[in-house]
Structure 1
Amino acid sequence: MKSFQQVLLFLLVLGLAALTVTAKINLAKLRQKFISATKANSTLFVRSLDYLHREPPFGEATNRYVKDDMWIEQKLDHFNESNTETWQMRYLMNDQYYQEGGPIFIFVGGEWAISAGGITRGHLVDLAAEHKGILYYTEHRYYGKSKPTNDLTIPNLKYLNAKEALADLAHFIKYQRHNTPGLANSKVIMAGGSYSASLVVWFKRLYPELLAGGFASSAPILAKIDFKEYKEVCGRAILEFGGQKCYDRVEKGVAELEAMIEQGRTAEIKAMMQLCDTFDENNDLDLWSLFSTISNLFAAIIQYQQGDDVPIICDYLLEADNDVVAIAKFFLLFVDNACIDVSYKGTLAYYIDSTYTGGANRPWFYQTCNEFGWYQTSSSRNQPFGTKFPLTLNNVLCEDVFGPEHTNSKLTAKVAQINLDFGGLTPNVTNVYQTHGSLDPWSALGHTAADGATILSSESHCSDFNSISKDDSAEVRASKEKLAELVREWLAN
């Protein structure tokens, strides 16, 4: 009997050791994914935002049928006939399943560089195979290799807006119908995720005659400056996936950091979090940048969480000696520098660079400063990330990067115009299937079940692009099957 108990104890210890090793491997993967996907020459504040606006998770391309980069000539200004300037927009094509007369399936690019994965694997690809359709992946102007102007100076950025991007899509469809054999009368199905899902909804509103149907996963369709709900949903995700102890650890750890600053203990914070000497504890903009970065790093895990991502992070936090040490350990997880730059001055220098070397960061920030807002702030008390990343941080940054005319009052007027033009939460479109994860932070700006959207329990951002599989929850599978049936209806009518 004793030997049997010893064997059981040995197996238990062995099992716990295996779990610990697995957790460490998964933690290392999360860390490496962040480091690989962001630019090390920017501040951690910029990198945290950059990670949040990456391409949806399609996975690697799986076949050889995607052609090399393809290009289409677009007008620089679709709404000014006197401007005859043009530029080359990149797109990708997969004609593996195409038979003449088949439909057109377009995955719409957003604030990222497009890759072949978007049209070589996943549910949209399966639908194209079923209907013998051709697949395209269009790249949004000013992102990836699609560069309408020589640089990103402020005069050139005036051609960067959602309406111009939608006009690019309209021209793309007309061009392909006219120039590709067998597509003259082909119906069009569009899909998008996040901002590009918004574009699908808005395209149906502005160009209904060009689109048979659309799939919009995680579409924020309401422009809003102070997007305080984003961090509220992040808090709910920590609570659901990580539990009350994890939520409390985050909340208490951030609160203690805030208290240390009020007590004049910033030297301790700088040492504990390995902040560079460029950090000025007497500058509110630096302090706000620090706390915004902390909250964004949590959001970086939560927004695209898969499997045990959040529980892994929570286990890591709960292993720490105390609350504030836990936050510092989490913060340090995402860097491999000798010191960490979260200075406002460093962020400003990065955003002011008007070359394309910064990737999507400057153009996307321009769009938020001129169209959408969508600033994720600490305005709400119903979240665990503290009080020190107010809307003012983004207001000041907009003015400092793009000029003093970019005031909050000007943005308020522009946001109101966007919601008027695109309908806000009432876009009045048909044949667009919208889905949201219940724990997607962006869902707060999209349609609810009452509006006709499908809400996927415990899912996060853009989590439903993969092919139907045994790993799908019953809800996710049913949603994918519903989309497939809708596509059949749209193409049959």
Structure 2
Amino acid sequence: MPLLFAILVLMTTSTSSSYSISLAPSKIPQLGMSSTKLKNTHDALTQKVDKSDLEIFYFNQDLDHFTFTPKSYMTFQQRYVIDSQHWAGAKVNAPILAFLGEESSLDSDLSAIGFLRDNGPRLKALLVYIEHRYYGKSMPFGSAEEALKNASTLGYLNSAQALADYAAILLHIKEKYSTKHSPIIVIGGSYGGMLAAWFRLKYPHIALGALASSAPLLYFEDTRPKFGYYYIVTKVIKETSEKCYNTICKSWKEIDRVAAKPNGLLILSQKFKTCGPLNGSSDIKDFLGTIYAEAVQYNRGPSYWVTSVCHAIDANPPTHKNDLLNRVFAGAVALIGNRTCYDTNMFSQPTNNSIAWRWQSCSEIVMPIGYDKQDTMFQLAPFNMTSFIEGCKSYYGVPPRPHWIMTYFGTQDIKLILKRFGSNIIFSNGLSDPYSVGGVLEDISDSIVAIKTKNGSHCQDISLKRKGDPEWLVMQREKEFKIIESWISMYQKDLRDLNILI
């Protein structure tokens, strides 16, 4: 959530090494809730984020929850935020809504999440927001420079440790507020949505239920979807404008053709107004591919990014002055805005968040995303697991574990596992979100519900309200609220029936 998105090219240069990981096709989209690089000023939020009622705390968190070596007893300060202004209190067992942070700063999450703020007053709930270890201000080893330095320090960054962090903090909060029997509902989006679902499965004694928004927890080697991320990118653009789709299809060979000319890279640099010289045609192709992916993943109203891009590409027929490359460049400008120059590396600039996420996607969150044969808008470049493993191993000195997520969380037979061992989970997906191909899209039982919407984008249901939100989105949010409300009602009935008192 804001799982704040930029397509993370794993060729990003680390702050501590000059080695770059070369992947095929060299991009793994980051699981952000909203775009940080592309802002559309016309998509005004109808909600203003008031942080005056938020209290910031730091929890003395264990570095390692699973071993008893001397280093495991080290601690770090993990940030969390509480909003208690609408909470009815422990005496009535009022619920707790807990947002589980993902690969971004908590500051970004507080500016993007609307579900807790919208429904906290209705449920008279205590609102909790927890920052993920190694992101924002929740840095082990005293600083980001130390924490993100190499595999020895990054080794404590994984989903199991993150879930244990959340468990420790939530139990601490229940003790702090003397609220033993207040039910907890965990909420997360994107990678955080995966964490929310996994938390309910791993810690059912702590979380009564989970809302997992846009959580691609089936996008792994053992449960790889038939159609991939870029298939949906292609599909959405083609449905928006077949003319736009055809132009983009033709543009890749044209970029390569121009690049092969004498001074070809200089010509491309001039056409795309790049801020610096190009190293190859792949610089432009990666840049454009990222723009199309971002436009689709976060395609929401009122101005709808895909429509804006395709309208710019389709606006004028090809002429000598307005050739194919000028038109695809116009599509990029429509999304990024007019600038004096365009940095083709703008999506791969190394930040603390991108460095931490690179480790996670090079260790256990290994999603086999590539340009497969179904992804007809792009040049063929399927994901190559062998190359991926070798690249990560060369960079960090340790190989990824692409099967570990499935082993640890046991979702190879998702329907059977959830039906037998799971309950009280909402999986929400917009089918126009490229990550929906790895989501749970069918109801498993009466208490494991899949809510899918045809035109929904990434984490749209739990994001802040926007001007012109469609009726289907309003209805989806209300349905999610009603389900959670029913879980809480049944839980409180159980308390009464069992005569359990505080």
- Fold match (TM-score > 0.5): yes
Letter in 2 for 1:143: Y
Q: Which of 373, 379, 385 matches 2:366?
A: 373
Q: Once structures 1 and 2 are overlaid, which stretch shifts more, 199-208 or 321-330?
A: 321-330
1:233 and 2:244 are equivalent in the alignment: no
SS in structure 2 opposite 1:459?
coil
- C-alpha distance in structure 2 between counterparts of 1:290 and 1:469, whole Å: 32
Q: Using the alignment, how far apart are the partners of 2:256 and 2:175 within structure 1?
A: 61
Aligned residues of 1:222 and 1:446 also touching (Cα < 8 A): yes
Q: CA deviation at 1:218?
A: 0.3
Change (3 A) 1:49 1:331: farther
Normalization by structure 2: what TM-score?
A: 0.76
Q: Once the 2 structures are TM-superposed, how far is the Cα of residue 389 of structure 1 from its aligned partner?
A: 7.9
Which region of structure 1 is more displaced relative to structure 2, 224-233 or 98-107? 224-233
Shift, 1:309, TM fit? 1.9
Change (3 A) 1:337 1:400: farther
Report the alpha carbon displacement of residue 124 of structure 1 after superposing the two structures with TM. Answer: 2.6
* Number of residue pairs matched by the alignment: 430
8 Å contact 2:100–2:130 — kept in the other structure?
A: yes
Report the RMSD for the aligned CA atoms in angstroms: 3.6
Q: Distance in 2 between matches of 1:158 and 1:337?
A: 42
* Structure 2 unmatched runs, 5+: 14-19, 36-44, 317-321, 492-502
C-alpha spacing 1:389/1:291, structure 2 compared with 1 (3 Å): farther
Q: Deviations over 1:108-140 (max 9, x none)?
A: 111111138748973332322122211011000
Question: Are the aligned partners of 1:106 and 1:138 in contact in 2 as well (CA < 8 Å)?
Answer: yes
* Residues 280-330 of structure 1: per-residue CA shift (max 9 Å, x gap): 33xxxxx54542332111112221111232111111112352322222344
| Equivalent residue in structure 2 for 1:91, among 80, 89, 113 | 80
Structure 1 CA distance, aligned partners of 2:466 and 2:325?
A: 41
Match runs of 1:200-349 below 5 Å: 200-224=196-220, 229-240=228-239, 242-261=240-259, 265-275=264-274, 279-281=278-280, 287-307=281-301, 308-319=304-315, 321-331=322-332, 334=336, 336=339, 338=341, 340=343, 342=345
Q: Kindly indicate whether the alpha-carbon contact (under 8 Å) linking 1:291 and 1:388 is maintained by their aligned counterparts in 2.
A: no
Asked if 1:458 is matched to 2:460, the reply is no
Hey, what's the Cα distance between the residues in 2 that align with 1:341 and 1:104? 44
Residue 476 (str. 1) matches residue 473 (str. 2): yes
CA distance in 2, matches of 1:418, 1:78: 18
For residue 104 of structure 2, give the secondary structure of its aligned residue in structure 1: coil
**Is 1:81 equivalent to 2:68 in the alignment?**
yes
CA shift for structure 1 position 275: 4.7
Structure 2 CA distance for partners of 1:237 and 1:396, relative to 1, 3 Å: farther
Between the aligned partners of 1:119 and 1:256, the Cα distance in structure 2 is: 41
CA distances 1:80-120 after superposition (whole Å, capped 9, x unpaired): 12321011101111111012222111011111111387489
Amino acid at match of 1:174: L
Where does structure 1 lack aligned partners over 5 or more consecutive residues?
1-32, 282-286, 352-357
- The CA distance in 1 between the partners of 2:162 and 2:86, in whole Å, is 28
The aligned residue for residue 500 of structure 2 is none
| Cα shift readout 1:163-219 (whole Å, capped 9, x = no counterpart) | 0000001101111111224x2221101111111000001111111111111111100
Identical residues among aligned pairs (%): 24
Aligned counterparts of 1:478 and 1:259: Cα–Cα separation in 2: 49
SS at match of 2:370: coil
CA contact 2:212–2:425 (8 Å) conserved in 1: yes
In structure 1, the residue matched to 2:50 is: 62
Pick from 433, 440, 448: which aligns with 1:447? 440
Whether the aligned pair in 2 keeps the contact of 1:289 and 1:389 (CA below 8 Å) is: no
How many Å separate the matches in 2 of 1:449 and 1:323? Answer: 42
Deviations 1:139-174 (A, max 9, x none): 000111110123212210000000000000110111
1:362 to 344, 351, 355: 355
Q: Does 1:177 align with 2:174?
A: yes
Residue 126 of structure 1 pairs with residue 114 of structure 2: no
Q: Which residue of 1 aligns with 2:190?
A: 194
TM (norm. structure 1) is 0.77
CA change 1:268–1:193 in 2 (3 A) is: same
SS at match of 1:360: helix
Amino acid at match of 2:97: F
Question: Which whole-Å CA distance do the structure 1 matches of 2:274 and 2:394 have between them?
Answer: 23
Question: Which residue of the partner structure matches residue 418 of structure 1?
Answer: 405
State whether residues 65 and 161 of structure 2, in contact with CA within 8 Å, keep that contact through their aligned partners in structure 1: yes
Residues in 1 aligned to 2:113 and 2:271: alpha-carbon distance in whole angstroms: 44
Change (3 A) 1:186 1:341: same
Mapped partners of 1:34, 1:184: distance in 2? 37
**d(CA) in 2 for partners of 1:127, 1:275:** 45
> Structure 2 counterpart of 1:328, which letter?
F
Structure 1 residues 61 and 376: alpha-carbon distance in aligned structure 2, compared to 1, 3 A threshold? same
Aligned partner letter, 1:89: Q
Partner of residue 487 from structure 1, selected from 481, 484, 493: 484
Residue 317 of structure 1 contacts residue 330 of structure 1 at CA under 8 Å; is this kept in 2? Answer: yes
Question: Aligned to 1:383, which of 376, 382, 393?
Answer: 376
Structure 2 CA distance for aligned equivalents of residues 218 and 230 of structure 1: 13
* Counterpart residue type for residue 114 of structure 1: L
Contact 2:308-2:331 within 8 A present in 1 as well: no
- SS of the residue corresponding to residue 136 of structure 1 reads strand
* One-letter code aligned to 1:110: E
Partners in 1 of 2:96 and 2:485 — Cα distance? 13
CA gap of 1:207–1:95, structure 2 versus 1, over 3 A, is same
Partner of 1:104: 96
**1:432-473 CA-partner distances (Å, limit 9, x unpaired):** 111100100110111113554111111110111257899554
- 1:107 alignment partner, SS class: strand
**Mapped partners of 1:214, 1:302: distance in 2:** 26
Decide whether the 8 Å contact of 2:228 with 2:434 is kept in 1: yes
In structure 1, how many angstroms separate the alpha carbons of the residues matched to 2:310 and 2:134? 37
Cα distance change, pair 56–278 in 1 and its aligned pair in 2 (3 A): closer
2:423 is aligned with 1:434: no
